[in-house]
Structure 1
């Protein structure tokens, strides 16, 4: 006000603060700022969704072992894993939708939190700022100046949690021990001393950002508790926390989208780099044929074919695994071991040797895994189609929000 009056001679500036308080203006500013970040985050998440579903289509039959406890579990595909990541990002987009629908209401006109005697039109100012309408209670947005921030920080913490899990998986796959993934060099760095190093720095930093976001979320939640209803000065720190959280973490989703698009396709020579980049599907398949990854499916098929109780046949296959290892076979149950285990259990069941081997083959297993949500090709195609439809619908919804905000801004400009 002083600047406008003294330096520009605008006497009307002295009326600027009529029916306004720092309280409602800052809360309104933060709603506007967070809304813009949510729009950016939603677009980045949709880009990641598109990258995941696009690349997943290329890996419908890229056989790999699923892991539990960092050990071989059962047969899956790399496309199935990418679809799992896509489902997690889908939920993030849904949370962003709910955040927008919950908090796109204007606090302007709440003043200190207890309204004003001036006959202001809060519906008009809400419309001009692109809000759905004014907040219905003047105390609530002032006293709750931490909830929209904490809600957004929670979404970011969940998002970064998923991205950090993706990052750790890709880091592990890029090690010499796994040797499954060759990252594009733009996402890596060298060493100050070791000439051979290609360090997955972008992925490692993503894990650090996840820890950072979680700590700020905890601070936001703590700031919001046990306050006298109304404005309290400690609420000012919610602004710093959410701004730092957004600025530090927002780039991660777009970076991961580029990593998926450039480094997670089947292994091929990158023309610009003249080197191999991507997922070595042959190596993945070879790894899936080790460590008794087909033992569970062998058990399931034996139950289905014989009608014998699951628990009894599980004991049989467990014994057969042990006998196979004793015989020097570290990868799959041998017909001889299965026959011996059946005899120990007192079961007169004969399974042809070729059938025992075939039931443990990844191709056979995937052909029978057609349950909804599974790695079978048809089931996975259905899931990816649903994800693509979701992405399309959400893109239209977020585009509509941007157009609405642009129209509101243009109306404001007309009044200048």
Structure 2
């Protein structure tokens, strides 16, 4: 008897080329725990519908338990003849139960099975992803706590702009990852819909109970439309968007660490355990983790765009094109499971050269905005204050001096509004202390940010471990 689930009307087997092209079993066997969980729920529904006796249901569930154990132990393996995970598991069930194993197929299709399995898989692995993200956020927050008062150059266009604290800079990265966690939670709510019971596309004439199945499998509801249930892959595309955004945030963090560790910046040194060397230049310490994080972002974006292109013009309901939904999802989750712990370790162990940061903080005339704000507080319109401050910077450039070194007479010559008391704002410490608005880089707002982030991370940890 054929192992295939669809061979009834065919007099011959598929060509080898078709079998090779059609097979997904070499990568979808990772769905075994989810397919078996759905099969257990389906067996109970079949019993309640009077299609299985209590004894048959018990024997099927016992066989499913044994099959799951055998797969995990490597005692049961799939072959190319199995085509996919569903066929392989039905073969295993029939090997254990004979004809009874074939009864489980009643009222369901591979179409609703795979849609269910992939939702179960992604929902479980989204929690793992969240846990890894939280580890990174906690490492960044710990470094931010250490450097909540460390002065640093704040940059726009990679040019010195205004002094900030290094802790403030690190917390900026945390905010992006917190948004990723928000997206994961929102995504999980929309993905908590069970397709099982939709059959191939039209539901079933058997007295099944999709709502009971949904509840047993941890979904909040059953699908509202059987056609949509088997053809919807919005959840997969949306998850790939979230993973792509995580990749982009990792890439931005990686890019900054790459800059910070250069000889030219010298702000940070990586721990030996999280850096690599050169095969020809013995002095090198390379930030390979940061570079790989930056590089992986392109792969994550590619997985998203690839699936979107696959989905773009598919007619309802199920089409075999949807076989292409799993590999990009698996690949994105697998790569983030590799990258995130490495980036976390790199961040947690990096040594920040606070003295170098503090020395660089006032460079590039970064205190110029303090002069403009000081003038505004004296009643000068900001438009004029901007021009006056620009003239002071121009003077500094010509004379080769810093802002605080401009003589009193030169200040007075530039503007009648500039008197010696302006020097009170020409210190990094004063500039930082003056930043008191919520979300800014002053000591008080940074302390508030740290407290708020710590609270949010604790809440997310509960969600990830639920």
TM over 0.5: yes
1:351 maps to which residue?
A: 419
Give the Å deviation of 1:194: 0.7
Q: 2:208 aligns with which of 116, 120, 127?
A: 120
Find out whether 1:311 has 2:383 as its counterpart.
yes
Alignment partners' CA distance in 2, 1:366 and 1:228: 59
Gaps of 5+ in 2: 1-89
2:438 maps to which residue?
A: 372
**1:143-182 per-position Cα deviation (integer Å, ceiling 9, x unaligned):** 212x111111111111111111111111101001111100
**TM-score w.r.t. structure 1 length?**
0.87
Find out whether 1:44 has 2:116 as its counterpart.
no
**TM-score w.r.t. structure 2 length?**
0.78
Give the Å deviation of 1:134: 1.6
1:214 maps to which residue?
A: 301
Alignment partners' CA distance in 1, 2:452 and 2:406: 40
2:40 maps to which residue?
A: none
Q: Kindly indicate whether the alpha-carbon contact (under 8 Å) linking 2:148 and 2:446 is maintained by their aligned counterparts in 1.
A: yes
Alignment of 1:210-359 (within 5 A): 210-263=297-350, 278-304=351-377, 306-329=378-401, 334-336=406-408, 337-342=410-415, 348-352=416-420, 355-359=421-425
1:70 maps to which residue?
A: 158
Larger Rg: 2
Find out whether 1:87 has 2:175 as its counterpart.
yes
**1:230-249 per-position Cα deviation (integer Å, ceiling 9, x unaligned):** 11111210111111121122
**1:44-67 per-position Cα deviation (integer Å, ceiling 9, x unaligned):** 112222222222111111001111
Q: Which has the higher contact order (CA 8 A, sep 6+)?
A: 1
Between 1:214-223 and 1:361-370, the stretch displaced more is 214-223
SS of 2:203's partner is coil
Alignment partners' CA distance in 2, 1:37 and 1:179: 38
1:153 maps to which residue?
A: 240
Alignment partners' CA distance in 1, 2:404 and 2:263: 24
Q: Kindly indicate whether the alpha-carbon contact (under 8 Å) linking 1:292 and 1:332 is maintained by their aligned counterparts in 2.
A: no
Alignment of 1:102-117 (within 5 A): 102-117=190-205
SS of 1:66's partner is strand
Q: Kindly indicate whether the alpha-carbon contact (under 8 Å) linking 1:321 and 1:332 is maintained by their aligned counterparts in 2.
A: no
Find out whether 1:386 has 2:459 as its counterpart.
no
Q: 2:462 aligns with which of 374, 392, 396?
A: 396
Between 1:193-202 and 1:254-263, the stretch displaced more is 254-263
Gaps of 5+ in 1: 264-277, 343-347, 401-416
Q: State the superposition RMSD in angstroms.
A: 1.6
The alignment covers a number of residue pairs equal to: 376
Give the Å deviation of 1:333: 6.5
SS of 1:191's partner is coil
Alignment partners' CA distance in 2, 1:302 and 1:335: 18
**1:55-80 per-position Cα deviation (integer Å, ceiling 9, x unaligned):** 21111110011111110001111000
Alignment of 1:159-174 (within 5 A): 159-174=246-261
